[in-house]
Structure 1
Amino acid sequence: MAKLGKRTKAAREAFAGKENLSVEEAVALVKGNANAKFDETVEIALNLGVDPRHADQMVRGKVSLPAGTGKDVRVAVFARGDKAEEAKKAGADIVGAEDLMETVQGGKIDFDRCIATPDMMPIVGRLGKVLGPRNLMPNPKVGTVTMDVAEAVAAAKGGEVQFKVEKAGVIHAGVGKASFAEDKLAENIRAFVDAVAKAKPTGAKGTYMKKVSLSSTMGPGVSIDVTSATGN
């Protein structure tokens, strides 16, 4: 068995025996033990009572975090003509059409969010096998297939987070940085959990939100009392 480093060992000891904490307690614990040499991301995981293999149990959506994400989001936009210019002026990092498709097909995906105008979807559709597994495929349900590319770019740059449930019924997302003030992280967490709660699908039966946990990039995780996160 590999020997634990001092920092890892100290973090595990700090987390030992602690579970179902309030949002504020969990934030203080995670933030206080995020001691890496970089600004760690604070990550949330929600275990949901859904089976996303069934269409009526799929959970996906978006939320604008009140305190932002602390992350520099690189945005790619599939558009032509005036819409391409609109995207560039709004701050998009990469704008293109067939040329951008070829770049992505070649394996270069230098962006965190992908937006497309509706007329570009026949081109973007060819990239489903590449963008889909990375949760980068533009989708009208979360506002990334739109004629208002400027608004979509601004939202992506301004702290909007998209979420989509994975096969095991889990949703993961970053909700800020360890350098954020504790009250700002708590605010982001509750906003994110509230958005997932509102996205409850019609086919969900029984307990919808089973578990909420928080961690930092390099640290252990701790469970949060669901009522503290939801306010219910």
Structure 2
Amino acid sequence: MAKVAKRIAAAREGLDRNKLYSVAEAVSVIKARATAKFDETVEVAVNLGVDPRHADQMVRGVCLLPNGTGRTVRVAVFARGPKAEEAEKAGADVVGAEDLVEQIMGGNINFDKVIATPDMMPLVGRLGKVLGPRGMMPNPKVGTVTMDVTKAVNDSKGGAVEFRVEKAGIVHAGVGKASFSEEALVENINALLDALAKAKPSGAKGTFMKRAALSSTMGPGVKLDVSHISVSASA
């Protein structure tokens, strides 16, 4: 425990907890303090001025990070016939129908993302209680219920990140790894912020992006300059 406390203290040394950093400054600070023995994930947390209990204030979408997530994503596709063949050719790790339902119901979930063609949704609907809590339920709003199976598989493996506002009005999303270059992380963060800005719901009033922070898995959080974000994200 003492070693952990010492590492945290070292990471916080020289860090101004009250300063609002630009995206580029924050990335530099976070990378310098990501000293764990594994490649830490860099995450953005944004507090939005919405109340997701109201349907017209829900924020949900998907962002294709230009430099990927740094994760190897395993994709499962519910499809039959030619679309199943298309999914296999696109590089899906698991493809099936009733057999895939049985696999999942049996607790064998060896994938990270689920895609389905529209005609398969009545079948996939049986898995709501299993896939829903894991955030894996296919949804047309984020492009995971689609006839364009090839694009969906490629996007999922290439860096597509889903975001959805939580009850407290906060959106969390991973934007890469600490091993990424500063330029790559900045590009990814700006892409996510741009996607969030474009996802502003009609019911949102007043300031949309209220607060934001950047952190790595084991490192301290750094506050981002929200006013700067709002301008650059909407540009």
TM-score bracket for the superposition, by shorter chain length: over 0.9
CA distance, structure 1, for counterparts of residue 117 and residue 186 of structure 2: 35
The range that moved more, 101-110 or 142-151, is: 101-110
Could you tell me which runs of 5 or more consecutive residues in structure 2 were left unpaired when the two chains were aligned. Answer: none
Is the contact made by 1:12 and 1:220 (CA closer than 8 Å) also made in structure 2?
Answer: yes
User: 1:139-186 deviations in whole A, cap 9, x for unaligned?
Assistant: 111111011111110111111111111111111111011111101111
What does the per-residue CA deviation read over 1:35-76, in whole Å, with 9 as the maximum and x for residues that have no partner?
A: 111111101111111111111111001111111111111111
The one-letter code of the counterpart of 1:132 is: G
Structure 2: how far apart are the matches of 1:149 and 1:21?
Answer: 40
Partner residue in 1 for 2:63: 63
Q: Which residue is 2:150 aligned to? A: 150
The aligned residue for residue 102 of structure 1 is 102
SS in 1 for 2:193: helix
Q: Distance in 2 between matches of 1:132 and 1:51?
A: 21
CA RMSD, aligned part only? 1.4
Question: Percentage identity across aligned positions?
Answer: 68
The aligned counterpart of 1:201 is 201
- Inter-partner Cα distance in structure 1 for 2:93 and 2:146: 17
Matches within 5 A, 1:115-130: 115-130=115-130
Letter in 2 for 1:73: V
How many residues in Structure 1 have an aligned counterpart in Structure 2? 231
The code of the aligned residue for 1:222 comes to V
Q: In the TM superposition, what is the alpha-carbon distance from 1:6 to its structure 2 partner?
A: 2.5
Structure 1 unaligned spans of 5+:
none
- Structure-to-structure mapping, 1:1-232, within 5 angstroms: 3=2, 4-230=4-230, 231=232
Q: Secondary structure at the match of 1:200?
A: coil
- The 8 Å contact of residues 189 and 229 in structure 1, kept in 2 or not, is answered as no
* Contact 2:44/2:174 (8 A) holds in 1: yes
Q: C-alpha separation between the residues in 2 aligned to 1:229 and 1:206?
A: 16
Q: Which amino acid aligns with 2:197?
A: A
Report the Cα distance in structure 2 between the residues aligned to 1:18 and 1:56, rounded to whole angstroms.
33
The alpha-carbon deviation at position 18 of structure 1 amounts to 4.5
Within 2, Cα distance between the matches of 1:151 and 1:189?
22
Taking the aligned partners of 2:76 and 2:91, their CA distance within structure 1 comes to 10
Give the Cα separation in 2 of the matches to 1:114 and 1:229. 32
Is the Cα–Cα contact under 8 Å of residues 41 and 174 in structure 2 kept in the other structure? yes
Question: Which piece of structure 1 moves more, 87-96 or 125-134?
Answer: 125-134
Deviations 1:193-229 (A, max 9, x none): 1101110111111211111110001111111001333
Runs of 4+ in 1 over 4 A off after TM superposition: none
CA contact (8 A) 2:17 2:223 kept: no
Provide TM-score, normalisation by structure 1.
0.95
Q: Distance in 1 between matches of 2:228 and 2:112?
A: 31
Query: Which stretch shows the higher mean deviation, 96-105 or 194-203?
Result: 96-105
Bigger Cα displacement from structure 2, 175-184 vs 125-134: 125-134
Q: Is the 8 A contact 1:165 1:171 kept in 2?
A: yes
Taking structure 2 as the reference length, the TM-score comes to 0.94
The residue type equivalent to 1:229 in the other structure is I
